[in-house]
Amino acid sequence: MDMEMQRFKSEFFKALAHPLRIRILEILAEGDKSVNEIQLLAESEGSAVSQQLTVLKAKNIVTGTKEGNRVIYSLRDPMITELLDVAKRIFNNQLSETITILDRLKYTDKEE
């Protein structure tokens, strides 16, 4: 059972391992959007956005609902927003630590 859960987690994180996919999830965290709206907000080509939405949909991370002649995408689980926030905090913590180390090195270099 543990190996299946680890495999699921691995596949889940692989699905997130693309900058445009992350951007799409950040956009959808603000609310449901059509492909055109996502394309505009992501400042990316429609084909690239569609391709990445296909990956996210195949991994059950986003869902698409047909409304007339367009598809409206949404996050399948609102906890994705929390995951993105946690990832941002981890990144900021690492960045802060790096800046602190660089400041110490700069200060040490000035003393020499």
Specify the CATH number for 1-76; select among 3.90.550.10, 3.40.50.261, 3.30.56.10, 1.10.10.10: 1.10.10.10
What is the rounded distance in angstroms from the CA atom of residue 27 to the CA atom of residue 73? Answer: 10
Any idea what the Cα angle at residue 56 is, between residues 51 and 58, rounded to 5°? 95
The residue ranges of every structural domain in the chain are: 1-76, 78-112
Q: pLDDT digit string (tens) for 16-36?
A: 999 999 999 999 999 999 999
Burial of 66 (0-12, 13-18, 19+ CB in 10 A): exposed
Q: Is the pLDDT of residue 111 over 90?
A: no
Provide the pLDDT for residue 97: 81
Give the chain's mean pLDDT.
90
